[in-house]
A and B are shown apart, each in its own frame.
Chain A
């Protein structure tokens, strides 16, 4: 079984057989330009503002306001569109939980592409926050035999079942523990977030995550201007720079306004459920209390708030 992963396209130009003279000239130019940009960066207000921006949690309400305004201005320059950047605070008495019905999921990947649209993920190279794994019904949940790159004419394929995996929003998140600069943390409502303006791109969190849920921007993400989602959140779906890690935030800007995450809305078979774990009347609570529930890699004590269950 061949399972070669092609996560991203190769860079525009690679000098595998050694650079030509032209390439050397071009590269010399770029290295000089890079040096100039490093030294000249302090003269460029935008680069200077980005460079000195404070840690999200250290921003005063005033500073947060000016930061959001500055970002909107930058996005206007980049995309020629007004992109609304908000920072919705967590709701009191809410701890979000997610449930996914493995017996319903058909592996159509509608959630994956709805997520891409909603969260301004890069289209080239293509970035997905949700990975849908295909496994054999006889084998049960066995990640060692999972295939994330299945490509059928029709789904579900005979004898297969599907397990979408994204950030599990652990109660005890290993990614948060390992981050050297505290750029990722767990919010009071249980959502694990990243400050894209504080991340240094060391990728410790990718290494620590047992669910392969984090994505690094190996090159500048590209989103066609007409496909941009203009309603964004600082900690969620605002366009990301190159060289930082990003991840699923359960559509933080939407759920804090009382909406469902986009993947829940997009699922054609109703396999995805979302709600407040602290509310005894919520659907997720009903599922946990009444269905056969499993969580991934229970032995690692990460305590995911993402529950797989068999509803049928």
Chain B
């Protein structure tokens, strides 16, 4: 059992995650008993915190590709050995995505209606049906590749590149695909002018290429400290450099969107006004977060684009945390809620997630982090602790 045995910190971390999960089980039981009324979502704002988290995590999952592209396409050594963690992160993120969708469903017992052939998938019209398809396919592909690589290492064999390389190459367009399809889910809603913009999908990809690697960079540094996992500074700095470019693109696309709305000043501007200032003289509960997200994005961009601060471990880690928070707010709050506020009939419902929603969300993150921790533990144990030696228990 490779996931057993570890430091005290490791066990404390697992215990903390279990507490997160357990308290969420109670919150979800409450939701299951009374229905989604335990959330603060209502007809005016019918998707909220759950779907915001879902959208953010699809981005994290898609970001594995940022590591895969240089590693396999250019066969660039320092990154190649870390790709597997990107894939494991993708697996954990997609599982969290599916859990967030499940807790958001009014009738989770009818999930089977979405299963091809048994149920009735409304293809090709429904983007939601496409999203379910690509997410599950992406989960499967990453899970298979990661498992196969670990399996080969465990048996001390060399993996067969004829199996791995085509699958990995395929996962590149699929990673772009899952985030594009998720963006199209919003993008295709003509009733919501806030989302009905052609650059929504590129914005999704740009922000994903910041947030996913931000998580991985921190993970690599932790692994480097606590295990014999080796990663060169050169690789970390290269990833950080890519993140700076992605953030530049992200900010540019956001600026393009803001310019279009404020300069043309149509009725559709109300959603951006709700995001940044509030409407009808009332302040908006999400405005402080919107400004915080923008501030974090700009400051992390500065930290990453200047080589000196990018190479400094402290400022780099600060930058990673800022990027992560910035994108989390942008995807989780700033994307969903202004899309719904004001609603199609002009009414304003100030949505703020309920305690119950936050608790369930913490539990979903708990499950995701638990799965990720256990998978990484096994992978590190097999791939690095014994350094390619066949392992025997």
Contacts and interface: CB of A to CB of B under 8 A. Distances in A.
Partners in one complex: yes
Contacts of A260: none
B121 A27 contact: no
B229 to A, nearest CB: 39
Interface in B30-82: 30, 32-39, 41-44, 46-47
Given A181-B120, A199-B106, A203-B47, A5 B42 contact: yes
B345 A131 contact: yes
A178 B127 contact: yes
A267 interface: no
A148 B280 contact: no
B128 A201 contact: no
Given A15-B355, A182-B122, A27 B349 contact: no
Size category of the B interface is: 35 or more
A242 B35 CA distance: 7
A178 B188 contact: yes
Size category of the A interface is: 35 or more
Contacts of A4: 348-350
A207 B280 contact: no
A178 B126 contact: yes
B104 A202 contact: yes
Contacts of A207: 46-47, 189, 191-192, 340
A204 B126 contact: yes
A243 B32 CA distance: 10
B122 A243 contact: no
B122 A199 contact: no
Interface in A154-194: 165, 174, 177-183
A96 to B, nearest CB: 23
Contacts, number: 194
A210 B44 contact: no
A14 B38 contact: yes
A218 B125 contact: no
Interface string A1-27: 111110110111011100100001001
Given A15-B355, A30-B29, A144-B342, A210 B190 contact: yes
Interface stretch (B111-119, B207-215, B254-262): B111-119
A207 B107 CA distance: 17
Given A31-B26, A179-B122, A210 B191 contact: yes
A133 to B, nearest CB: 6
B389 interface: no
A229 interface: no
Given A30-B33, A55-B120, A198 B349 contact: no
A16 to B, nearest CB: 5
A34 interface: yes
B355 A146 contact: no
B43 A212 contact: yes
Contact of B345 (A15, A143, A202, A216): A143
B110 interface: yes
A215 interface: yes
A5 B349 contact: yes
Contacts of B35: 217-220, 242-243
A11 B38 contact: yes
Interface in A193-245: 198-204, 206-212, 214-220, 241-245
A14 B356 contact: yes
Contacts of B44: 5, 7, 212
Nearest to A181: B113
Interface string B343-363: 111111110001110000000
Contacts of B107: 199-201, 241, 243-244
B270 interface: yes
Contacts of B348: 3-5
B29 A34 contact: yes
A90 interface: no
A108 to B, nearest CB: 19
A145 interface: yes
Given A198-B110, A201-B106, A243-B106, A216 B43 contact: yes
A214 B105 CA distance: 16
B267 interface: yes
A31 B342 contact: no
A76 interface: no
Interface in A18-57: 19, 24, 27-28, 30-31, 34, 41, 51, 55
Contact of B37 (A55, A125, A204): A125
Given A15-B355, A19-B26, A218-B37, A211 B42 contact: no
Given A5-B347, A7-B349, A144-B267, A174 B191 contact: yes
B109 interface: yes
Contacts of B354: 14
B129 interface: yes
B287 interface: no
Contacts of B393: none
Contacts of B32: 30, 34
A312 interface: no
Contacts of B42: 5, 7-8, 218
Nearest to B280: A1
A30 B27 CA distance: 10
Interface of B: 25-26, 28-30, 32-39, 41-44, 46-47, 101, 104-107, 109-111, 113-114, 119-122, 125-129, 132, 185, 188-192, 267, 270, 280-282, 340, 342-350, 354-356
User: Lowest 5 CB-CB distances: which A-B pairs, in order?
Assistant: A201-B106, A243-B106, A31-B29, A210-B191, A180-B128
Given A55-B120, A211-B344, 16 more contacts: A4-B350, A10-B37, A11-B34, A51-B109, A58-B120, A146-B346, A148-B347, A174-B191, A180-B114, A181-B113, A202-B104, A212-B44, A216-B43, A218-B35, A244-B107, A300-B191
14 contacts: A2-B280, A3-B347, A14-B354, A14-B356, A15-B356, A31-B25, A178-B126, A178-B188, A198-B120, A200-B114, A207-B192, A214-B43, A216-B46, A219-B34
